[in-house]
């Protein structure tokens, strides 16, 4: 059985934040400090605590608020390529390349983009790719919404996808990879597996496919989950070069279910 604690070090990170909080409280209220020293110590402590809380939200690998799958080092011959923000017309070219190299992948779809692209979604599933949720609209305000509104957003996207596919889709990747207490509350009871990543390609930030490829392969190890995007300008040449590299190195490209099974 895979060691899921290897995927997300949430327990140890929560303990770290709690330790910083308790240590700061003891320093401020138990130590014999003068007013100026107490003020300086308080500012330093509060800044460190704030930094840790922001990091916990912004880094999906932190696992502080929700358990997140970020890799599986037991699967040394496997790599999971994941694509966010589809479906779109480029998704067809991506699927064609995956078929050419006998590779499987995982797609996290924005619910509002599915209408008119139903055939693409069905082809993804038919050809053995995993399809998951990536919110309804990928709104920039998603992490700031109330738990109820976040939950409604996720359920709306899930309903649209499942009406198209006719099957359940238990995987979810939060927009921007952000997690926080509101998102954690919204996810309670939905029985969703949360997908993170161990390699962020930054393919949407850099249009040079060669440089993005170098960034990926420099870090790549067996069991990695790689974050890519259907919508990035360089995705087709980047993906072909990456698939060639993975084949040369003997890696199997699998979907997330296979990686964590």
Residues 57 and 177 in one domain: no
Say if strands 225-229 and 78-86 run parallel, antiparallel, or are unpaired: parallel
pLDDT, one tens digit per residue, over 152-162 is: 999 999 999 99
Which residue numbers are catalytic?
A: 84, 229
Report the C-alpha dihedral over residues 89, 93, 95, 100, rounded to 10 degrees: 170
Residues 75 and 180 in one domain: yes
Pairwise CA distance, residues 63 & 180, whole Å: 10
16 or 249, greater pLDDT: 249
Q: What is the pLDDT of residue 45?
A: 66
232 phi/psi in degrees, rounded to 5:
-70, 145
pLDDT, one tens digit per residue, over 107-127 is: 999 999 999 999 999 999 999
Q: Of 17, 41, 62, which closes a domain?
A: 62
Residue 41 sits in which domain range? 4-62
Question: What percent of the chain has a predicted confidence (pLDDT) above 70?
Answer: 85
Residues 26 and 152 in one domain: no
pLDDT, one tens digit per residue, over 46-99 is: 777 677 777 777 778 888 889 999 999 999 999 999 999 999 999 999 999 999
Calculate the average pLDDT of the chain.
90
pLDDT, one tens digit per residue, over 131-150 is: 999 999 999 999 999 999 99
């Amino acid at each position: 059985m895979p060691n899921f604690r290897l995927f997300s070090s949430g327990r140890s990170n929560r303990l770290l934040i709690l330790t910083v909080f308790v240590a700061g409280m003891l320093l401020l209220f138990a130590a014999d400090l003068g007013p100026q020293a107490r003020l300086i110590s308080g500012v330093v402590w509060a800044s460190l605590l704030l930094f840790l809380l922001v990091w916990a939200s912004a880094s999906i690998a932190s696992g502080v608020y929700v358990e997140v799958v970020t890799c599986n080092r037991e699967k040394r011959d496997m790599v999971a390529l994941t694509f966010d923000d589809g479906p779109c017309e480029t998704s067809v070219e991506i699927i064609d390349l995956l078929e050419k190299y006998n590779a499987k992948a995982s797609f996290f779809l924005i619910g509002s983009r599915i209408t008119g692209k139903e055939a693409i979604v069905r082809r993804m599933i038919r050809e053995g790719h995993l399809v998951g949720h990536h919110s309804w609209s990928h709104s920039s305000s998603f992490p700031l919404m109330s738990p109820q509104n976040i939950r409604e957003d996720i359920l709306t996207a899930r309903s649209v996808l499942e009406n198209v596919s006719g099957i359940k889709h238990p995987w979810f990747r939060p927009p921007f990879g952000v997690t926080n207490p509101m998102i954690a509350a919204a996810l309670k009871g939905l029985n969703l597996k949360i997908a993170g990543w161990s390699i962020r390609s930054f393919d949407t930030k850099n249009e040079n496919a060669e440089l993005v490829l170098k960034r990926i392969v420099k870090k790549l190890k067996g069991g990695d989950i790689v974050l890519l995007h259907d919508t990035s300008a360089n995705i087709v040449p980047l993906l072909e070069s990456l698939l060639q590299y993975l084949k040369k190195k003997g890696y199997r490209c699998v979907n997330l279910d296979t990686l964590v099974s």
